[in-house]
Amino acid sequence: MKLHTSRKKEQLLALKRGDKAAFKWLFTMYEKKLYAFIFSIAKSDYVAEEILQEVFIKLWMKRETLDSAKSLDAFIFKIARNMTYNYLRGVASQEALKRELWKNIVHNKEQEDDKVLLENYEKIVSTILKDIPPQKRNVFILSKQQGKSNQEIADLLGISPKTVKNHLWKTLQIIREQAKPHLQKIHSFILFLL
């Protein structure tokens, strides 16, 4: 055991001087243990291999600052742990961002679809209203597009509230009947797009 520890210290000192053979020895000594450690956290062969490489790159880059009095095991496993957790945090952030972007895309698409449907429906209703008698059309526009009450419409047009109600009912019935084939086409088109 003491021989193994003194060998590590010798290799660590050689590594600090930039000895590539010492680096290769440390790589061979730690590669499998570090890989298993990283894999136990990341649960991915690819990620474990990538982080393993990064750990050894960082070890090489910091070789001159290594403290031979401290445990190399603790140092190298701490680097591996931190890099793995940083990677997983980054992936989690990216996944959360992707979910949020996708949610926004879907929401915007639905809003756009709703807007297109509403525009198409308004065009259909406008076309139908052109063929409706003027009194019924005026009652519909005042009620549904301008938001006036039946009493307000009756007062404006000099007719009874009951007549306003009858005009609205008949106009809506005409719109429903005449819009039905158009709406079925729109609905079929939407289903085709999905």
* Domain limit, last residue, from 95, 118, 147: 95
Tell me, yes or no, whether 88 and 169 share the same domain: no
Cα–Cα distance for residue pair 70/79, rounded to 1 Å: 14
pTM > 0.85: no
Question: Looking at the 3D structure of the chain, how many domains does it have?
Answer: 2
Tell me, yes or no, whether 11 and 67 share the same domain: yes
Asked if residues 31 and 52 have their Cβ atoms less than 8 Å apart, the reply is yes
Asked if residues 79 and 59 have their Cβ atoms less than 8 Å apart, the reply is yes
Tell me, yes or no, whether 72 and 148 share the same domain: no
Cα–Cα distance for residue pair 140/146, rounded to 1 Å: 9
What is the pLDDT at residue 91? 84
Residue that has been written with the tokens 């819009």 in this structure: 179
Residue 103: inside a domain: no
Tell me, yes or no, whether 74 and 140 share the same domain: no
**What percent of the chain is modeled with pLDDT above 70?**
89
Residue 53: inside a domain: yes
Residue 101: inside a domain: no
Burial of 186 (0-12, 13-18, 19+ CB in 10 A): middle
* Domain limit, last residue, from 95, 122, 157: 95
DSSP 8-state symbol, 132? S
What is the pLDDT at residue 165? 93
Tell me, yes or no, whether 34 and 88 share the same domain: yes
Tell me, yes or no, whether 89 and 148 share the same domain: no
Cα–Cα distance for residue pair 192/188, rounded to 1 Å: 6
What is the pLDDT at residue 193? 43
What is the pLDDT at residue 4? 62
**What percent of the chain is modeled with pLDDT above 90?**
37
Tell me the pLDDT band of 119, cut-offs 50, 70 and 90: confident
Asked whether residue 108 carries a pLDDT value surpassing 60, the answer given is: yes
CATH code at position 23: 1.10.1740.10
pLDDT, tens digit, 9 for 90 and up, residues 1-51: 454 667 888 888 898 899 999 999 999 999 999 999 999 999 889 999 999
Asked if residues 186 and 120 have their Cβ atoms less than 8 Å apart, the reply is yes
Tell me, yes or no, whether 88 and 30 share the same domain: yes
Residue 63: inside a domain: yes
Residue that has been written with the tokens 């590669």 in this structure: 31
What is the pLDDT at residue 174? 87
DSSP 8-state symbol, 63? G
- Please give the residue that has the higher pLDDT: either 162 or 114: 162
Residue 165: inside a domain: yes
Q: Domain range holding 19?
A: 2-95
pLDDT, tens digit, 9 for 90 and up, residues 61-97: 989 888 877 788 888 999 999 999 999 888 887 877 6
What is the pLDDT at residue 39? 93
Tell me, yes or no, whether 9 and 91 share the same domain: yes
DSSP 8-state symbol, 145? I
* Domain limit, last residue, from 95, 113, 145: 95
159: closest CA among 142, 175, 174? 142
Asked whether residue 178 carries a pLDDT value surpassing 90, the answer given is: no
Residue 44: inside a domain: yes
Asked if residues 119 and 91 have their Cβ atoms less than 8 Å apart, the reply is no
Residue 60: inside a domain: yes
Helix (H) or strand (E) holding 91: helix 72-130
Residue 52: inside a domain: yes
